[in-house]
Structure 1
C-alpha cells in the first residue's frame, strides 16, 4: 500500500514492505521501490507480451516484484518465483446484509409451526378427553351438598367448560379450582402436567436465545449459491490469476460462473479497489484472493467473506528469469517462516485492526438458534398418548365394576345396567347431575336402620 506525505512524496507500507525490509536487512542490501505504470500484477496480451509487474520483470527494468503476485504455471514460464511466503485461495467478498428487524410475533419463533398446531390440538383433545372420562368414571360424581349426606343427586365438576379451564390452568402452570378424584382422571392430569412441564421448559429455554440473537439473512452462502442465481452479479480482476482460474475451470460450478462472467464483461474490474467499491455499492460479489480479502474485511465492518476458499495457491516474490537472487531470497523466506517472523508480521497487520469490528454480528449470525420441531419434542407427545390410553383403560374398568355392582344392588341384569349407564354417560349434552341410584352401590345404613334392617318398600321414592 502507499501513502503521501506533506511534500507529496510516496511512501509504501504494509506486510510485504515489512517483509522485504527484514530480508534486505538480513542479507545486507538496499531497496528502492517504485510502482508500475498500470498498477497491476500483469497479464498476457494477444501478441504474447505482458503488462504490469510481470512485463517489467521480463524487460529487466526491475530486480524483483512484490505484491499480490500469485505463483502459477503461466507466470512461471516467463519469470522466476521465490518460495511462497504466504498461502491463500480464491474467496468471495460480499456486502454484509442488514440485520433483520425484530418481528411483532417473535415470541412464537422458539417452536416450529407444526409444534404450535400440535400443542393446540393436544389442548383441545385433552379437554374433551377429560370431560368424557370424568363422565364415564363413577368416582368423579360426588354429593354437591356436604351437609346432606342423603342427597338424591350427585354432581360432576368436570363439565365441558371446567375441563377446558382445567387443561388451560395446567398448560399455564397456574392450576385451577377443579381437581380430579378418580384414578383415571388423575392419570390424565399427571400426564398432561408432565407434558406441559417439558413443553414450557423447552419454550422458555429457547425463547431466551431467540430474543437475544440477531439474525441476518445472507442471500448466498457459497459459490454454488452464487452460480444458481442472476440477481447478484459477480466478477473478478480482468487478466489476473483469479480470471485465469475461472477461464480454465473444468468443475461444473466454476464453468457456469465463468459463462455468466464472460457474457457480462461489465463484471470485470481493472483493480481490486474498484471491485471492493462495487461490493460496497450492493448487489455485487467480488471474487478475489483470500488474504487481501480478509484484510479488507477486518478494515471494513460492512464487508464479509462468503463460503470457503475455492482453491489453494501461494504468493511469491517475482524475479527475472535465471536471476542470481532467487535462491538467496528463497532461503531467507524459509528461515523467516520457520522462526515465525512472518507469522508475527501477519498477526500485526491482520489482527491489530480487528477490535473495531469485534462487536459485529459475526458470532451472532453463526450461532442461530434452531427452532424446536417434532424431532426434538415428538417423544413428549408419544408419552401423552400413552397416558391417555392408560387413563381410558382404567376408566372403562371403573365403569364396568360400577355397572356390575349397581346392577346387583338394583336387581337388574348386567346388560341392562351397562346399557343404562352407557346411555347416560354418552349423552355429553346431558346434565352434570344424576340420580343417586345410578351411582351408589350400597343402601344407606341410616335408612336400613330406620326400616329395622328390612327390605325397602317397593313404592318408596328414595329407593326407586
Structure 2
C-alpha cells in the first residue's frame, strides 16, 4: 500500500491508470483506503491481482477453522479470516497434508519402523525415503485421485516430471474483491460478460464528476451575456454543453466545464509536445474534451475519440458580389454610349442626305395627278420631315408608305437598310445576352481549383488547426502549390482563430475589394452564412472528417459515451440540436433560402425592361401634349374664321371631340354678305380673265417661259410649276 500511496502523491492513481499486482498475496491487502481516495479524486486506478487461494472454497474455510481451533486448544487467541491466508501458508499446508496422507496410507499397506531422527548433516540416506517419494508420486498422479487442498486439486502430472500443473490462478479486482476470470493450463477464461462490464462501468461513471475541457467559439461554447450570479456550468451556453448534458442524462453522471488556458484545439509541436485541449487530456486534467475538435490521425494516436457526432469537410468561405439593382434603361447597355451617339449622327446625316439628293435629282419630282399628262406642278415626297420619317421607319424595320425612285436616293436607302440590318441584329443578340446574364452567377471562383488558379484573391486558414495540417501534408500537387503560396504570403494569410478569418472575409467585402477567402470546416461556414447573407460557401468539400469527443487514452468510458452518441443520432436528437443552434438561436436562419422552383430564374422582370415602358410612356405623354397644342391652334383658327370668341370655339370643338360615335366632321364656311359676294364675283372674273390672257400668251410663245413659283402643296409634299 505504500507504493500506491506514493503513486497517489504524483497523481498516478486516476481511473485512467491500471496496475497489475503480480504477487499472489495481493488479495490480503486492505483496500478500504482506496475507496476514500476515489471519493476525493472522483475516481481511482484499476488494480488487478492474482490469487491461488480462493477464500470462498470449503478447503480454505475448513483449514482456517482448524487453525483457529488448534490455537484455542493451546490457549492462544488469533484473528484470522480466509482472506488473510497467504499463498505460502496455503502451499505449506497442502504439502504437509499430501505427505501426511501418503505416509498414513503407506503405513497401512506396508508398515515400517520410524527410526530416530537422522542428522541433517549426515550423508546417509534414509532407507524409506525413496519408497515414500515413489508412493507419493504414484498416489497423486493417479487419474482417479480427487483430493484437493487450499490451493486447489492436488494432482501431479507424470508427463511433467510429476509437477503440479492443473492449478487455477484467479484474476481479481482487488478493490471490489471480485473474480473477473481464471487462468489454467487450457488458457484464460473471463467471467464477466459485455453487459456486466458495461453495468460496472456505468456504476463507476455515476459516482464520478466528469471534467470537460472546451474552448470558446460560436455556436459550440459561448459565455452567457448576463454573468451575474452564475458559476460553473451556468456561465456557459452552446451546442457543446447541451450535447454533454444530453449524454449525461442518458448515462446518469455529473460534469463540470472549464476553458483551456491557451485557447487552442491541440496540435503537435516541433519538439513533439502537444498543446491545447489535447495537452489537458494527456495530463489527465480533463476527462472529456469537446468543441469543434476534428478527429485527425495524430490526435487519435495521442487520445481516444468517440464516434463522430458531426460529419463535415473543408470548404471555402467567400463573399457574394454586391447585388446591383436592375437598371431601368438596361436596354441601352448592349451598346456603348459612343455607339448610340454615332447611330444618332448617322440617322440625322442619312435623313439630310436623302432630303438634299431628293431635291437635286429630277426623278424624285412626280406628277401629283397621273391622269393629267401635262401638269402645271410637280411634287417631291422627300421633304425634311418625310426623309426623317423614312429613315426612322427603316431603322425600326417598320417600312414606309413611300420609297425612293432615283438611283442616288435608292443607293442611300439600300446602304441605310444594310446598316440598320447589321446594327439591329447585333443589338438584339447582345440585348438577349445582357438580360440573360443579369440573372446568372458571374462569379469566377467556384472551387478550390479556381481559387488556386488566380492571384487577385488571397486565401488562408487558421494557424495550428487541422485545416492547415491538411494542406501541409497533402500529396495533391494543386493543394501543395496552394500551401506554398499561403506559406510565402506576406503579410500572413493565416489567422489565430476561425472567427478572425471570418472577420477578415467580411472586411474584404465591406471595402469592396473581395480579395480574401478563408478555408475552414463546412459546419462553421454554414453557421456564418445563416447570419451574414453576403457570405457563401464556395465549391465542394475538400475532404471528409468528423467532430468527436476526446478523452484520455484507454478511457474506460469511451464505449459508453460512443453508445450514447449513437443513440442520440438514431433518435434524431443530434439533427435537432444542430438546427437549434445553427438556424434558430442567435439570429440564425436569417439568410436561409427555402427550396423554390428555379424554372423562372431566367425570366426578365420589370427591373430589366422597365426603361422601355418609360420610353413608351414619355413618348405617349409627349404626343398627347402635341395633340393638345394642335387642338388649341385649330380652335384659334376656327374662332377667327367663324368670327366667334375663342371660348365658344373651344367649347364647340371639345363637344365634337368627345362625341366618339361620329366619324365625319362638317366644314363650316365663312358667312358672306351681298357686297362681299359681288366683290368676290368681280375678283373671280378678273382672275379668270387674267388666266385666259396668260394662257393665250403662253400659246403664242410656244409654251416657253413660265409664270412664278407656286406655293407649297398640301399633304406634306413640295410642288413646283
User: By the TM > 0.5 criterion, same fold?
Assistant: yes
Does residue 12 in structure 1 map to residue 236 in structure 2? yes
How far apart, in 2, do the equivalents of 1:151 and 1:56 lie?
118
Which of 511, 516, 521 matches 1:289?
Answer: 521
Larger radius of gyration: 2
- Match of 1:251? 476
On the 8 A contact 2:308/2:548 being kept in 1, the answer is yes
How far apart, in 2, do the equivalents of 1:281 and 1:35 lie?
29
User: Alignment partner of 2:536: what SS?
Assistant: strand
Matches within 5 A, 1:72-221: 72-99=296-323, 106-109=330-333, 144-148=367-371, 150=373, 168-169=392-393, 172=396, 176-178=400-402, 218=443, 220-221=445-446
User: Alignment partner of 1:310: what SS?
Assistant: coil
How far apart, in 1, do the equivalents of 2:435 and 2:321 lie?
24
- Match of 1:3? 223
Does residue 242 in structure 1 map to residue 467 in structure 2? yes
Give the TM-score normalised by structure 1. Answer: 0.59
How far apart, in 1, do the equivalents of 2:546 and 2:276 lie?
19
How far apart, in 2, do the equivalents of 1:310 and 1:144 lie?
84
User: Alignment partner of 1:61: what SS?
Assistant: coil
Q: Post-superposition shift, 1:346?
A: 1.6
On the 8 A contact 2:531/2:589 being kept in 1, the answer is no
User: Alignment partner of 1:279: what SS?
Assistant: helix
Does residue 306 in structure 1 map to residue 530 in structure 2? no
How far apart, in 2, do the equivalents of 1:207 and 1:84 lie?
48
How far apart, in 1, do the equivalents of 2:230 and 2:366 lie?
103
Q: Which has the bigger relative contact order, CA under 8 A and spacing at least 6?
A: 1
Q: Post-superposition shift, 1:14?
A: 2.0
How far apart, in 1, do the equivalents of 2:430 and 2:459 lie?
42
On the 8 A contact 1:162/1:178 being kept in 2, the answer is no
Count of residue correspondences = 341
Sort the Cα spacing of 1:62 and 1:148 in 2 relative to 1 into closer, same or farther, 3 A.
Answer: same
How far apart, in 2, do the equivalents of 1:112 and 1:315 lie?
54
What root-mean-square deviation, in Å, do the aligned CA atoms of Structure 1 and Structure 2 show?
4.8
**What whole-Å deviation, never above 9, does each CA across 1:21-66 have from its counterpart, x for those lacking one?**
1121122222211111111111011222211111111122111111
**What whole-Å deviation, never above 9, does each CA across 1:393-415 have from its counterpart, x for those lacking one?**
xxxxxxxxxxxxxxxxxxxxxxx
Sort the Cα spacing of 1:203 and 1:271 in 2 relative to 1 into closer, same or farther, 3 A.
Answer: closer
How far apart, in 2, do the equivalents of 1:335 and 1:280 lie?
39
How far apart, in 2, do the equivalents of 1:91 and 1:209 lie?
29
Q: Post-superposition shift, 1:224?
A: 2.3
Matches within 5 A, 1:385-404: none
On the 8 A contact 2:368/2:379 being kept in 1, the answer is no
**What whole-Å deviation, never above 9, does each CA across 1:316-374 have from its counterpart, x for those lacking one?**
11111111222222222222222222112222222223453369xxx99xx6889xxxx
Does residue 222 in structure 1 map to residue 447 in structure 2? yes
How far apart, in 2, do the equivalents of 1:193 and 1:267 lie?
55
- Match of 2:676? none
On the 8 A contact 1:91/1:289 being kept in 2, the answer is yes
How far apart, in 1, do the equivalents of 2:236 and 2:297 lie?
29
Sort the Cα spacing of 1:197 and 1:146 in 2 relative to 1 into closer, same or farther, 3 A.
Answer: farther
- Match of 2:500? 274
**What whole-Å deviation, never above 9, does each CA across 1:186-230 have from its counterpart, x for those lacking one?**
xx9xxx9999999999888877767xx589875643322332344
How far apart, in 2, do the equivalents of 1:28 and 1:193 lie?
84
Q: Post-superposition shift, 1:233?
A: 2.9
On the 8 A contact 1:86/1:316 being kept in 2, the answer is yes
User: Alignment partner of 2:284: what SS?
Assistant: coil
Which of 280, 287, 296 matches 1:56?
Answer: 280
Structure 2 residue runs without a partner (length 5+):
1-220, 355-363, 509-514, 605-721
How far apart, in 2, do the equivalents of 1:260 and 1:204 lie?
41
User: Alignment partner of 1:38: what SS?
Assistant: coil
Sort the Cα spacing of 1:229 and 1:196 in 2 relative to 1 into closer, same or farther, 3 A.
Answer: closer
